Amino acid sequence: MRYKYAIELGGAYTNIFIRGDGFVLKEPTLLAVENSLEGYKVKAVGQDAKKLLWKTTDDVEIFNPMANGVIENFEYAQIMLSTFLKKVGFKKGANVVCLIPCGLNKEDKESYYSLFEKLGFNEVLLVPSVICSLIGFGVNVASPKASMLVDIGGTTTDIAVVNLGSILKGATLGIGGKSIDIAIANSLALGKDGILIGLPTAEKVKNEIGSLYKNDTLNMEVMGLDIKTNTPKSRIVSCGEIRRVIEAYLEEVVRTVNVTINTLPPEISTDIIKNGVVFTGGVSQLAGFEDFLKKNLTYNFKISQDPEDLAIFGAGKLIGDEALLKIVAGN
């Protein structure tokens, strides 16, 4: 049974790949919902919803219908994905490969099946995104030689050991880029010169001056509200303040990687040590990330140069390779 679509409902973005057309859609996994006299009404979806962040009245709520890879709000997830599918000319009856975190239970998986069936798909195949990321990185996931991937995504971090097309051992941590954004905002609010900033500003701080180099002197001015007076205020934020916040999260990721490798059978751990751990996800592109791993990880590693889209491109390769698809689908 050939699969035409590959879809990733990510913590930060929803991606759609169509066999024959390629990577056709990448939009924020967001909705803006307005509370009116007639009830709750969807005001915007995707990129249009992201533009409204921190720029709306109290009657408008902007949120992600997914939580740690789980469909938290089924109705709104259906509305959001239906909107995206209309943009790419979806016609009912096609088959789809859906990318999922590796730690989902049976009930969570059933929600994915139900969602895609209600949208009009025929056959639905759930594939762990870590397998697709390895395929996108160029790893032969059907090989008996084990590979390990760490994906620090928008809302979760997936850590998995893969061989013969299936996951031997995996874990999903509730740590991701959004968690770091929240921690940055909280840190600045609780600091000596407390300032309240929105999450888009915190994300900008992370992306522009977030650095893991100890001697980095980057800084930037942020605008927000004074915690004590609730009046507008500006403040210079240094990368040193931000580094401490980021390191706390990455240290937890490294601990889990070490525990995972140390509990593997010797033959499997030998493969991992020889081949190296593959790191992907947006956080892996922070300045000094490689230096941080060299100091905190005792194993060889590789860092993806296309972290945000690695999984969906791997899924695109998967739906175009019937032999590999049969191996992955059979596990």
Give yes or no: residues 231 and 193 share one domain. Answer: yes
In a domain, 20, yes or no: no
CATH number at residue 276: 3.30.420.40
Give yes or no: residues 152 and 280 share one domain. Answer: yes
- State how many domains the chain has: 3
In a domain, 117, yes or no: no
- SS3 category, 232: strand
- The per-residue pLDDT for 60 is 87
Give yes or no: residues 294 and 273 share one domain. Answer: yes
In a domain, 280, yes or no: yes
Give yes or no: residues 276 and 182 share one domain. Answer: no
In a domain, 106, yes or no: no
Q: CB–CB of 235/202 below 8 Å? A: no
Boundary-marking domain end, from 217, 244, 271: 244
CATH number at residue 212: 3.90.640.10
Interval 147-181: pLDDT, tens: 999 999 888 899 999 999 999 998 888 888 889 99
- The per-residue pLDDT for 153 is 85
Give yes or no: residues 210 and 235 share one domain. Answer: yes
Boundary-marking domain end, from 208, 228, 244: 244
Sheet arrangement for strand 157-163: 166-173, 157-163, 147-152, 277-280, 301-303
- SS3 category, 50: helix
In a domain, 299, yes or no: yes
Give yes or no: residues 195 and 294 share one domain. Answer: no
The beta strands (E) that lie in the chain are given as 5-9, 13-18, 22-28, 31-36, 39-45, 60-63, 66-67, 70-71, 96-100, 124-128, 147-152, 157-163, 166-173, 195-196, 219-226, 232-238, 277-280, 301-303
Give yes or no: residues 254 and 162 share one domain. Answer: yes
Q: Alpha-carbon distance 65 to 29, whole Å?
A: 8
In a domain, 69, yes or no: no
Give yes or no: residues 170 and 182 share one domain. Answer: no
Give yes or no: residues 277 and 299 share one domain. Answer: yes
H helix and E strand count, the chain: 11, 18
Give yes or no: residues 152 and 192 share one domain. Answer: no
- Measured from the Cβ of residue 50, the count of other Cβ atoms closer than 10 Å reads 17
Give yes or no: residues 55 and 192 share one domain. Answer: no
- The per-residue pLDDT for 331 is 66
Q: Alpha-carbon distance 18 to 25, whole Å?
A: 9
Please give the structure tokens belonging to residue 218: 């980057």
Which portions of the chain are predicted below pLDDT 50? none
Per the structure, the complete domain to which residue 273 belongs is given by 141-175+249-303
Considering the entire predicted model, what is its pTM? Answer: 0.88
Phi, psi of 138 (to 5 degrees): 100, 10
In a domain, 17, yes or no: no
Q: Alpha-carbon distance 223 to 262, whole Å?
A: 45
Please give the structure tokens belonging to residue 259: 């525990």
Give yes or no: residues 46 and 193 share one domain. Answer: no
